[in-house]
Amino acid sequence: MSVLLVIPARGGSKSIPRKNLQLVSGRPLISYAIENALGASMVDRVIVSTEDAEIADFARRRGAEVPFIRPADLSEDHVSLIPVITHAARAMEDLGFHATVVISLQPTAPLLRSLTIDQGVRMLLSTRCDSVVSVRRILHNHPYRVQQMDHFHCITPLFPHGEKYLQKQDLPLFFAITGGLYVRQRQLLDSWYGNDFCLGDDRRGIEIDEREALDIDSKADLLFFRFLVEQQLMAEVEV
């Protein structure tokens, strides 16, 4: 078994310019994902896939590998994550490293722990499933509360039977994929046809809490992460 972890990190971003290099407590955002990836004991190689020279240079200095520069046609906004990860796996094969498990860890998931990464790999190996993903419990905007509205502003429930659950604590559990962590069998990537998340038929989930599931997608998310880091540093100083 050989495990490759890929951190996809473009230089461009519409929501936050140069997002992956935004400083949080004096460190670029991507450094948190690199640190967590390197701390995972089940991972053999940690690489950063980027087209950006500054990101590549920083990643190398933080201990990640940048064995290739991502092609420009895989660095556009519209490109799905799957072709990027597939390219990385194939590029590593060309360099002599043949992964049986391929992990993608988003740099915008800075609180996703090394232990969770290891848990994902162990679950994939022990169950022989196709994929393992990080999920969070839906606590707000539960699907049974979702309404459809037509052009007359008339609303109808998406799940009509959902209204019988009057109390929040009685609602059945639903989970959402966080997008931070995907652990896949390598062969899945070669059979992807572009119409799903490339998770296969047998897919498993690892539940993480709201904090670990933080995804830096907006300036508000970035500010909140900075606040969390500052609070943690203050707590360490007080101790």
Task: Note the pLDDT tens digit of each residue in 176-233.
Answer: 999 999 999 999 999 898 889 999 999 999 999 999 999 999 999 999 999 999 888 7
Q: Do 113 and 32 fall into the same domain? A: yes
Q: Do 166 and 63 fall into the same domain? A: no
- Per-residue pLDDT, averaged over 9-28, amounts to 90
Q: Do 93 and 199 fall into the same domain? A: yes
Q: Residue 101 in 3-state DSSP? A: strand
Q: Do 16 and 55 fall into the same domain? A: yes
Residues counted in the chain:
239
Q: Do 68 and 167 fall into the same domain? A: no
**Amino acid found at 37:** A
| Confidence at residue 238, expressed as pLDDT on a 0 to 100 scale | 60
pLDDT digits (tens, 9 = 90+) for 107-160: 999 999 999 999 999 999 999 999 999 999 998 888 888 899 999 999 998 888
Query: Is the pLDDT reported for residue 239 higher than 70?
Result: no
| Confidence at residue 194, expressed as pLDDT on a 0 to 100 scale | 84
- Per-residue pLDDT, averaged over 18-38, amounts to 96
CATH code, domain carrying 191: 3.90.550.10
Q: Residue 178 burial (CB < 10 Å; 0-12/13-18/19+)?
A: buried
The mean-pLDDT minimum among 62-76, 130-144, 162-176 falls in 162-176
Q: Do 23 and 43 fall into the same domain? A: yes
DSSP designation for 65: B
Of the two residues 11 and 13, the one the predictor is more confident about is 11
Q: Do 127 and 212 fall into the same domain? A: yes
Q: Do 43 and 161 fall into the same domain? A: no
Q: Express as a percent the part of the chain with pLDDT over 70.
A: 97
Q: What is the pTM of this model?
A: 0.92
Which of these, 147, 118, 114, lies nearest to 132 by C-alpha position? 118
Q: Do 199 and 152 fall into the same domain? A: no
Beta bridge partners of 135: 177, 207
Average pLDDT, the chain: 93
Beta bridge partners of 132: 183, 204
Residues 6+ apart with CB under 8 A from 131: 124, 182, 183, 184, 185, 188, 198, 199, 200, 202, 203, 204
Residue 56 has φ and ψ, to the nearest 5°, of -60, -45
Residue-number span of the structural domain to which 153 is assigned: 139-173
Q: Kindly give the pairing relationship between strand 203-207 and strand 147-149.
A: unpaired
Distance (Å, whole) CA 145 – CA 111? 29
| Confidence at residue 18, expressed as pLDDT on a 0 to 100 scale | 92
Structural domains of the chain, count: 2
